[in-house]
Chain A
């Protein structure tokens, strides 16, 4: 269990605005990710847990151990916290070989056991042949594996990773994800990692915390958050939605229906609790949930006529850009067949109209 409640105020400086960290994280899951834009307080949270930064108030607990408690003035030094930390630049000691780096992390063990443990780790992280090299002779991926192995050798209560995929190419990123999944299944150490890669959240995260301006804007499993962003802010941070302003026209709790007006069109969906007739709401729909097709006659139920403005190739197909600031995904073949068509129809899913 990791529980951190952190408050820290940074007064405005000559070239920085005031910043207030006021975040609470509580997780029992093996891998938790902190997601958010730069400057949202993710790394600061990690540093406060590791003990590099002292919060003004709050409390940090890992398992049953209190690492920091503002009220009783407990502030363990980083040495006594046993929080494994994998830095963005890996922070391998450049004057030591890879093996010496690992040995540094297990100095507390008796010599024979240390030797065995280090060898075990070298094998586990496929570093055995590189043990005699210095960090500058290693590739980025190798350095990263060594950095993770080194952190684990100190038998940490928790493994903290600061944007581990930053600057890695897609192949190395996939390799890193494999390594972390192996760590997850081999060690019982809970992992807390900072990222601003949404795919990484899905690939690894059991729980996700969305940071925004020093606060946790939402938390949950990645699919939960994906399906139901809690606010416009979260939806914007995730950056994967069409966000459209609409007005509530009718609400019928008996039949569990509602109608919304989007510009000059009407959309039908399930009843919206806690909304009133005439409310202005944000419609939040992912491009792949929309069905786009060339216009053919009058638009039907939940169909909106739109004009094609552009298209961008995507790994899975084409992302079409329409007026009304709508994005929709279609298979490439569908687009190729109708690429000269300007008039299109976009169909909204009636069951899953998401409203904020």
Chain B
């Protein structure tokens, strides 16, 4: 049986990209939530967690409306790149991003907050700016937990189904990720193909969880 490995390759690429975006954005949001007091902090906190509780179809619908060809953002994207955003593999990255972002922010925030504030105080008394405290003290001290969070976020992105199919669709060879391909295979009665892909994705997920567990606290400052 010849297996098309494109869905796996696409899934890995999408998950890697979305995790990278999630780390950059997530660190910033986690920093704001952990250390800054601002108006509407609770609202931001709730909004960040919302994708965890909304049905994927609802989230997908919102994104479709927000990023579609008729929306301001969709038009802007099309004007810049010359092609629409929805129903491309880039849209799958955004779908995966929304799926993994809440998890990453939650765990990163907890990781940042668990760093003893005395270190930040010491750095402040030595004249360090808030930015260099964050990049040179707080994040390095929380790096293992942040990496563990990133690993979980990666695993989560890898498995996104609902949002992806809503905004990226199911175009074989272009936007069909592994999770979508499994659904497709089962629907079309291709049981053996589905079995292989299910085993592959399970093995990868297990491996990532093992890595995340190895990284997570125990010896945080090793």
Contacts and interface: CB of A to CB of B under 8 A. Distances in A.
**Are A and B genuine complex partners?**
yes
Interface of A: 50-52, 77-85, 87, 89, 91, 93-95, 104-105, 107-108, 136, 150-151, 153-154, 156
Interface in B146-162: none
A79 B121 contact: no
B127 A154 contact: yes
Given A94-B221, A95-B140, A95-B141, A104 B126 contact: yes
Which 9 pairs across A and B sit closest by C-beta, in order of nearness?
A91-B122, A78-B124, A85-B125, A94-B221, A105-B126, A91-B118, A154-B126, A95-B140, A79-B127
> Max chain A CB contacts within 10 Å: which of B126, B128, B136?
B126
A1 B119 CA distance: 28
Nearest to B124: A78
Contacts of B221: 94-95, 136
B205 interface: no
A87 B141 contact: no
Given A52-B121, A104-B126, 17 more contacts: A50-B121, A78-B121, A78-B125, A79-B127, A79-B128, A79-B129, A80-B127, A84-B126, A93-B123, A94-B221, A95-B140, A104-B123, A104-B136, A105-B126, A150-B126, A153-B126, A154-B127
A107 B125 contact: no
A80 B127 CA distance: 6
Contacts of B116: 91
Contacts of B141: 93-95
B118 A83 contact: no
A156 B126 CA distance: 8
A271 B186 CA distance: 106
A91 B221 CA distance: 13
A228 B32 CA distance: 53
A87 B124 CA distance: 13
B12 interface: no
Interface string B129-153: 1001000110011000000000000
A156 B119 CA distance: 18
21 contacts: A50-B125, A77-B124, A78-B121, A79-B124, A80-B127, A81-B125, A84-B125, A85-B121, A87-B118, A89-B118, A91-B116, A91-B118, A93-B122, A93-B123, A94-B141, A95-B221, A104-B126, A104-B128, A104-B136, A150-B126, A154-B126
Contacts of A105: 126-127
